[in-house]
Structure 1
Amino acid sequence: MRKMLTFANRWKTLSYLWLFLMVFSGCRDSERIYQQKPLSTLYKKAVNELKKEDFKEASLNFDEIERQYPYSSWAPHSQLMSAYCSFKAQEFSKSIATLETFLALHPASPSAKYAHYLRALCYYTDMLSPERDSENALLALQGFQEICQRFPYSDYARDAEVKIDFIQEHLACQEMLIIKDYMKRKEFISAFQRLSFLVGSYPKSALIPEALYRLVECHIVLGFPGLTYKTFTLLKYNFPKDHWASMAKELLASENMVPCCEKLPKK
């Protein structure tokens, strides 16, 4: 009985000790995180971290300025700096969240155009990750298009135009991969629908000649001779020297459709 009481007392003492250590540790963490400091000290610390390229720590320090001095003139600037540092640290979700907060609070700020650009740039940079699907590419495209509409004469708009072309080609490539998979599985109706979307949505893509050839293939399989000739005419007229046009003519010849092909106008 005495041994049991001794064990219980020891366990009770250890429990109190553990609770004391947890509270003490929590106090220390709170003191480290929420310790009030002069704005100049916080800003200098954040800038020093930025110079050392410790972008994650710099972002946290800029956040601290906005947290401790939310009504100061430095708060909006610190938000943007925090977002930039998060972008450099490849913490794109944090950067985007910070930028959206900034735009919600300061929509008319002279720095709003930069915030819009940096948000689109986050989606653009993150869209190339192997595990990403087309969602980020579409958000980046939407963001850069908005910049061109709202700030057409800015430096950001000129850069956005270049990136829009790249994103559209990227999306067209993703569509073509899906289309080829459909055709490999002989799902020609689905392939036809995606090809129609690709041609209509990305008319400047380098993949248009191949897309038109694939449409010819689909039309033949689905039994649409009228559309077959119409699509071949479009391919031959716009890309007369492209190898996809030659392949389409050979395909029609193999399907005993040569007489119709020969009647098609030449460019």
Structure 2
Amino acid sequence: MKRFVVGMLMAASLAACSTTTEPKDETRGWPVERLYYEAREELNSSNYTRSIQLYETLEARYPYGRFAQQAQMDLAYAHYKEQEPALALAAIDRFMKLYPAHPNLDYMYYLKGLVNYNDDGGIFARFTGQDRAERDPKSAREAFLAFSELVKRFPDSKYSADATKKMGDLVKGLAENELYVARHYMKRKAYVAAINRAQQVIKEFSSTEYVEESLAIMVSGYDALGQTQLRDDAKRVLAKNYPDSRYLTQAWQPRDVPWYQFW
């Protein structure tokens, strides 16, 4: 009997502890309107973690309707501002799949471009000390695709002008990245890889300032490989397009420059 009484007391004590330590949900019973406007207020105040919590609560309790749709868009933006690009992109892609004809789809394309454009792991992370030849330009390419889709599908969107400007920056950055890698390979005497990268610049980024040096790299690369015909062909193209190029009188040479010097 004594053992039974002790067991009952312990059980009651544990139950009391679990009751007193259970976190209180202050949003219990809130209507969808209050949840949304509280989340929006937190977002506008830059309290992104709290706004994310409230938007997720709204989605869980009220998964349908205009507040749920707006909450999903705001949630993607909140993740972006909280520097959580993977979560932001996941939220954007989910929204696009659920609402392919939504009137604010142009904004979601713009936001998708911004998330990738400002991704610190991309080619615009210029002040990290990382060798640019080692960077993956995937984020920059994804940003370009999102912006180009926005401009193509929604030419009159208020976001199209900035998207077009950023596309120009991206083209220049991607071309610079390809050229830097070509230089990197030339310095290591990986001539075939260097030529391939230089050809990529000429093919994809023909409007940029990096074509001249890319042709010069091809001339030097083919010369090092003993491919005289291809060398002469590349040099003729260089002379035709850049008759005053210094590379017509002096061969391309690798330059040792600091990682932070772009040109």
**TM-score band, normalised by shorter chain:** 0.7 to 0.9
Residue 124 of structure 1: which of 103, 110, 117 is its match? Answer: 117
CA gap 1:155/1:237 in 2 versus in 1, 3 angstroms:
farther
Which structure has the larger Rg over C-alpha atoms? 1
**Quick one: distance in 2 between partners of 1:156 and 1:171?**
22
2:70 to 58, 69, 77: 77
User: Separation in 1 of the partners of 2:146 and 2:179?
Assistant: 24
Letter in 2 for 1:222: L
1:197 CA displacement: 1.6
Match of 2:237 in 1: 234
**Partners of 2:216 and 2:251 within 8 A in 1:** no
Task: Note the aligned Cα RMSD (angstroms).
Answer: 2.9
Aligned to 2:42: 49
Q: How does 1:106-185 map to 2 (within 5 A)?
A: 106-126=99-119, 127=122, 128-129=124-125, 130=128, 133-185=136-188
Structure 1 residue 197 and structure 2 residue 169: aligned?
no
Q: Which runs of 5+ in 2 are unaligned?
A: 1-5, 253-263
Taking the aligned partners of 1:165 and 1:25, their CA distance within structure 2 comes to 59
Q: Structure 1 counterpart of 2:209, which letter?
A: A
Q: 1:70 to 1:232 in 2, by over 3 A?
A: same
Offset, 1:233: 2.4
1:122 shift after superposition: 0.7
CA distance 1:205–1:24, change in 2 (3 Å): farther
Q: Deviations over 1:12-32 (max 9, x none)?
A: 99x97997588447742xx43
Q: d(CA) in 2 for partners of 1:22 and 1:239?
A: 81
Seen in structure 2, the aligned counterparts of structure 1 residues 104 and 213 have a Cα distance that, compared at 3 Å, is same
1:39·1:69 contact (CA, 8 Å) conserved in 2?
yes
- Larger displacement relative to structure 2 (92-101 or 41-50): 41-50
Alpha-carbon displacement from aligned partner over 1:100-156 (angstroms, at most 9, x marks no partner): 121111111101111111112111111334576212112112212222222233233
Q: CA deviation at 1:85?
A: 1.9
C-alpha deviations, 1:90-109, integer Å up to 9, x for none? 22222111111211111111
Letter in 2 for 1:170: G
**Compared CA separation, residues 170 and 23, structure 1 to 2 (3 A):** farther
Which one of 209, 216, 227 corresponds to residue 206 of structure 1? 209
Which whole-Å deviations, capped at 9, do the CAs of 1:60-109 have from their partners, x for residues lacking one? Answer: 22222222211232110111112122222222222111111211111111
Selected match of 2:87 from 94, 111, 115: 94
Give the C-alpha shift of residue 168 in structure 1.
Answer: 1.9
Q: Is the 8 A contact 1:60 1:82 kept in 2?
A: no
Structure 2 Cα separation of the partners of residues 213 and 16 of structure 1: 82
2-side partners of 1:123 and 1:17: how far apart? 54
Q: Distance in 2 between matches of 1:18 and 1:240?
A: 90
Say if 2:63 is the partner of 1:60.
Answer: no
* Residues 36 and 67, structure 2, Cα contact 8 Å, conserved in 1: no
Letter in 1 for 2:30: K
CA positional deviation for 1:41: 2.1
Q: Helix, strand or coil: the match of 1:206?
A: coil
Q: Secondary structure at the match of 2:72?
A: helix
Normalised to the residue count of structure 1, the TM-score between the two structures is 0.77
Structure with greater proportional helix content:
1
Relative contact order: is structure 1 or structure 2 higher (C-alpha 8 Å, sep ≥ 6)? 2
Aligned residues: percent identity? 27
| Alpha-carbon separation, structure 2, partners of 1:214 and 1:33 | 65
1:191 corresponds to which letter in structure 2? Answer: A
Q: 1:155 is paired with a residue of what secondary structure?
A: coil
**Which ranges of structure 1 fall in alignment gaps of 5 or more residues?**
1-9, 253-267
